[in-house]
């Protein structure tokens, strides 16, 4: 399991679309964002989905990359905290 990062430029909700119909949308043009994804993201990364609600969105550009494993990401954060504050994150 890894940490995948996604970013969208000019994300706009499609008001007439419903997220339960997600399999009807071309994922090169649309992104379906479920309430579960928003809830999970907010539980683990508070504030990252501020203002988003479940729905279908269009976007002008998508950017994504794989940041490695969760354990590698947590090790990087721990090292960053050590370098910046002289303290470990405790994870």
Count of the separate structural domains present in the chain: 1
The verdict on residue 52 lying in a domain is yes
In angstroms, the Cα distances linking 50 to 25, 39, 40, 45, 46 are 24, 11, 13, 10, 8
**Least confident range of 5-9, 16-20, 28-32:** 16-20
The verdict on residue 91 lying in a domain is no
Residue-wise pLDDT tens digits, 36-70: 989 998 998 899 888 888 889 999 999 988 878 88
Residue spans of alpha helices (H) in 1-91: 35-44, 70-85
The verdict on residue 14 lying in a domain is yes
| Domain extent for 35 | 2-85
The verdict on residue 73 lying in a domain is yes
Say if residue 1's pLDDT is above 90: no
CB 55 within 8 A of CB 14: yes
CB 25 within 8 A of CB 32: yes
pLDDT mean across residues, the chain: 85
**pLDDT of the residue at 89:** 67
Global confidence as pTM: 0.62
**pLDDT of the residue at 22:** 61
The verdict on residue 90 lying in a domain is no
Query: Residues of the chain with pLDDT > 90: what percent?
Result: 24
């Amino acid at each position: 399991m890894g940490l995948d990062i996604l970013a969208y430029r000019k994300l706009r909700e499609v008001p007439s679309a419903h997220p339960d119909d997600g399999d009807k949308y071309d994922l090169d043009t649309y992104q379906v964002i479920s309430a579960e994804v928003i809830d999970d993201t907010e539980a683990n990364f508070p504030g990252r989905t501020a203002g988003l609600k479940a729905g279908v969105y269009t976007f002008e550009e998508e950017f994504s990359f794989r940041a490695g494993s969760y354990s590698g990401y947590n090790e990087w954060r721990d090292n960053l905290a050590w370098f910046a504050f002289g303290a470990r994150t405790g994870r």
